Amino acid sequence: MSSAIVIILCLGAVAACIKPLGLHMARVFSGHVWLERPLGWLERLIYRVCGVNPEQDMSWRGYAAGILLLGLAGFLFLFAIFSGQACLPLNPQKFAGLAPGLAFNAAVSFLTNTNWQSYSGEANLSYLSQMAGCAVQNFLSAATGMAVAVALFRSLSRKQTQAVGNPYADVVRGVLYILLPMAFVFAIFLASQGVVDTLDGYVKYTPVEVSGVGCRASDKKDDSGTCHPSPDTLIALGPVASQVAIKMLGSNGGGFFNANAAHPFENPTPLSNLLQIISILLLPAAFAYTFGVMAGDRRQGWMLVAAMAIIFIPLMMVGVVGEQRANPRFDAHVFDNSAGNMEGKETRFGAGSSALWAAATAATSNGSVNSMHDSFMPLSGMVPLLLIQFGEVIYGGLGSGAYGMLMFVLLTVFIGGLMVGRTPEYLGKKIGAYEIKMASLVILVPASLVLAGTAVAVMTEAGRAGLFNPGAQGFSEILYGFSSAANNNGSAFAGLSANTPFYNIALGLCMFIGRYWVIVPVLAIAGSLAGKNTVPVSAGTMPTHTPLFTFLLIGTVIIIGVLTFVPALALGPIAEHMHLVGAP
């Protein structure tokens, strides 16, 4: 299947689903859902067991406290299960518990919807850790992002109230009526394509004989150089399809296997590859339309969708075109390089489809990979890096992308108000200094973490010790790692040994701060807006659904992102590109 067909099918399917899926999610969080008949009993049972009154509206402080308590409980549970898995059931391979530093990093990673993995899943985590730890938190972390976004959406339609909703009810409804049904159907499809899903232990097999070049330490080699593999080689299995489904739909990205979606047991066919790319973009794109429905002006939702697409599509095409071209250092007379830059890619997907996946996974805070980003050409490798550094707002994580983009909307409204000499307004709410300060924190905190973390890693021996590549490529690997952690993406350039005390702690802190020190200001803005009255539209009101405002918003996102990170990009992928094309 050609790259052009894959791109058209992918974007067309996402575009067709935005309105119906966005409407469904808006109805779920407004309390009107057709799935309540088969699943309502389970929702009520959860409330009863947890002692939650779903009708109790909370202030933004109460809402934030509920989200933080859920996060704390999730972290403690994950840390305990990762550390103590050796003593727990469903561990047929008898894996030991993770070391404290790695357990901390992994627990924070899945808690914050980042899913950064400094370990090999099939070699370190038991089935219980994968299912009760990773997969369960994939649902909860995605639902948490949706809940925070929904609280902000409600605040724009409410007047003179302190209430923004109930965090527990929003999380439960997001899981039961959106994520769980979709993941169930998607998991069945993945299983039909060959994605494994079993609780049986790993399977022993004897590989075919290979040449001496491919011999491992455990193999025997005869006098002719033929390698005789040992018969105890294992094929890793496990409950994969059920975890892959929610990892894709929930903007999670953490793979059951170390190779993630490049592994044939996670992503076996071109069809499964196409559907997984669609699933990456589907819910984040539709959630922007959900905002328009809940805010009472669907044009605002379409404006966000358009702004995201206008930034995403050109950058995605830069990556696709860049990877479909051959590496200029390779001599075409020596071998056929017409397939493009195939280093680090699966032949069943190809260069173009791999670049499309890289753009989608970086734009949506998904973080899964079906190729090695470290092997991309410098400028096409800069595409996912730049999409992450924009703040994960194109399309961003599930929920987090929508509220992140709304922070840029508030800044754009403020800038536009200054330009025309009027008090900034958005959907009838006056935007004051408090909202702008909080929005600035949401944008600046992750950027500060990225730049400060990269600087410390580059300047310290502990940070440089994790590098396998020198020069600009090594700098890009560190920059990508901290960009991915602070913006809760989770993908990696690779080439960076991150399972060290320095990176486990540093990246873990970046993931935690990048998630929760952003959520609190967002909810503070929600509380402030909910308490305000609406003002009527006048002749001087700046419309915020027009093409003019859309391009003003796009300019704000790009200018802030470029001004913040272009010096660092110049030291990394840009410098590497100049060296690549300028070298003799």
- What residue ranges in 385-449 does DSSP mark as E strands? 425-426, 429-430
> b/e per residue, 495-527, with b = 16+ CB within 10 A?
bbebbbebbbebbbbbbbbbbeebbbbbbbbbb
**Which pLDDT score is estimated for 528?**
95
Q: Domain-by-domain residue ranges, the chain?
A: 3-200+237-582
Contact of 354 with 323, CB cutoff 8 Å: yes
Per-residue tens of pLDDT for the chain, all 584 residues: 678 899 999 999 999 999 999 999 999 998 887 788 888 899 999 999 999 999 999 999 999 999 999 999 999 999 999 999 999 999 999 999 999 999 999 999 999 999 999 999 999 999 999 999 999 999 999 999 999 999 999 999 888 898 999 999 999 999 999 999 999 999 999 999 999 999 998 988 766 655 445 565 556 666 666 666 665 678 899 999 999 999 999 999 999 999 999 999 999 999 999 999 999 999 999 999 999 999 988 999 999 999 999 999 999 999 999 998 877 777 666 667 778 888 889 988 989 999 999 999 999 999 999 999 888 999 999 999 999 999 889 999 999 999 999 999 999 999 988 887 777 889 888 999 999 999 999 999 999 999 999 999 999 999 999 888 888 989 999 999 999 999 999 998 878 888 999 999 999 999 999 999 999 999 999 999 999 998 887 777 788 899 999 999 999 999 998 889 999 999 999 998 888 877 54
Name residue, tokens 């899943």. 121
**Which pLDDT score is estimated for 232?**
64
Residues 154-210: tens digit of each pLDDT: 999 888 898 999 999 999 999 999 999 999 999 999 999 999 999 998 988 766 655
**Which pLDDT score is estimated for 22?**
95
Give the ranges where 125-269 is alpha helix by DSSP (H): 127-128, 136-157, 167-174, 180-193, 241-249
Contact of 344 with 377, CB cutoff 8 Å: no
Question: Half-sphere exposure (CA, 13 Å, Cβ side) for 346?
Answer: 20
Contact of 119 with 98, CB cutoff 8 Å: yes
**Which pLDDT score is estimated for 320?**
93
Contact of 146 with 174, CB cutoff 8 Å: yes
**Which pLDDT score is estimated for 183?**
96
Mean pLDDT of the chain: 90
**Which pLDDT score is estimated for 230?**
60
Angle of helix 378-389 versus helix 298-324 axis, rounded to 10: 160
Angle of helix 501-530 versus helix 100-111 axis, rounded to 10: 30
Residues 280-299: tens digit of each pLDDT: 999 999 999 999 999 988 99
The CA distance from 243 to 191, in Å, is 11
**Which pLDDT score is estimated for 211?**
47
Nearest of 106, 105, 183, 170 to residue 139 by alpha carbon:
183
